[in-house]
Amino acid sequence: MWVAEILLQQTQVARGLEYYDRFLSAFPTVEALAAAPEADVLKAWEGCGYYARARNLRRAAGVVAARGFPQDYAGWLALPGVGSYTAAAVASLAYGEARAVNDGNVRRVLARLYAQTAPTDAWVQARADELLDPARPGDWNEAVMDLGATVCIPKAPRCPACPLRASCAAFASGTPTAFPAPKVRAAAREVRAVAVIVGDAEQAVLERREGTLLGGLSGLPAEELAAGESPQTGLARLCARLGAEPGAHLGTVTHAMTHRHVTLDVYAARSAAARTPVAEAALSRLDHKALALLASWQGGLFGTP
C-alpha cells in the first residue's frame, strides 16, 4: 500500500501498475529495499520519473527496517518522503485511524458538493474531516477518491451516476465543471542544453548530473546553456570539461516535464573516458531519446561525413 501510494502520486494508474509489479519484484521486502544500492533502486524506478520518490522510499525503508512499521499517522508522517496525504491514506486504510485524505480527487468532489470555485487546502481538509466516517475511515477515503477518479471527473462528469447528485450544489447550478475553477499554472520554463554521446547505445560515458537539469541522476554528459548561448559554445565548454573531441551533431530532441520544457542538442564525441553499460543505468526519457538518434544516423561521426 505504501509503495502504491507513493508511486501513484505522479504516475497514471495504468502505467503505475506495471512499475509497481516491477518494483516489488526487485524489492519484495522492506529489508531488501533498505539494503539495495541506490543505483539499483533508481534502475527499478526507471521510466516512472520524479526519482526523488525512489530515493525517499529507500531512505524510509531503512528507517522501517530498523524500527518497524509505524502504527499511526504521526509515525508515517515522520518517514522521509511521506506527506500528509500518504500518511492519512496508509493510517486509515491499514490501521483504521480516523484521518481524512486530501488529494485532487477529494478536492474536486468537495468543491462541487459545496460549489466552491477556489477552495483552499485548509478548507478542503476541514470539510473532509467533518464528513469522514470515523467507524470506517479507510472505506470512506477510498470511496471519495474513487468517486473523484471515476464519476466526478474534471471534464464531462458522470453526474447521473453520482450518489451525491441530490446534495450537490454544483450539479444544481447546471455548470458542475465550473467548480473548482482551473488553477492557473505557471508557464513551463524553457531550458536549452547540449549533451554528448561518447560511445554507443550499448556502452557510453555517463555521469551523475548536478543542478537543475535532471540533477541527481546518471545520464549523458550535458551542459545547460545560458540565455542567448549557442549550442556550439556549450559544446565547446562541455568537451573541454570532459577532455573530449566533439563530433557530428546527431540531432535535437525535446522533452516536456511538469515545470520545464527541455530542448537538447546531441553531439557525438570521443575520449578515453571509461564507458558504462547503458542497460545498467537508470536513465531519463530524455537520455533514451538522445541515444535513439544513433540508430537513425547515416553519416560519419567524426571528420567530414
Tens-place pLDDT, residues 208-232? 887 666 767 889 999 999 999 999 9
Q: Are strands 260-270 and 189-197 parallel, antiparallel or unpaired?
A: parallel
What cell was used for 299?
553519416
Q: Which residues are catalytic?
A: 5
Of the listed ranges 26-40, 105-119, 285-299, the least confidently predicted one is: 285-299
Q: What is the pTM of this model?
A: 0.83
Do 2-178 and 189-296 agree at the fold level? no
d(CA 219, CA 45): 15
Angle formed at CA 171 by CA 169 and CA 172, multiple of 5 degrees: 60
What cell was used for 196?
554528448
The residue that leads in pLDDT, 295 or 44, is 44
Domain ranges of the chain: 2-178, 189-296
CATH of domain 189-296: 3.90.79.10
Tens-place pLDDT, residues 37-73? 999 999 999 888 888 999 999 999 999 999 999 999 9
Query: Would you call 56 helix, strand, or coil by DSSP?
Result: helix
Looking at the domain covering 2-178, what would its CATH class be?
Answer: mainly alpha
DSSP 110-172: HHHHTT-SS--HHHHHHHHHHH--TTSHHHHHHHHHHHHHHTS-SSS--GGG-TTGGG-HHHH
d(CA 179, CA 159): 13
DSSP symbol at 280 = G
What cell was used for 135?
467507524
Neighbours of 83 (CB within 10 A): 13
CB 176 within 8 A of CB 112: yes
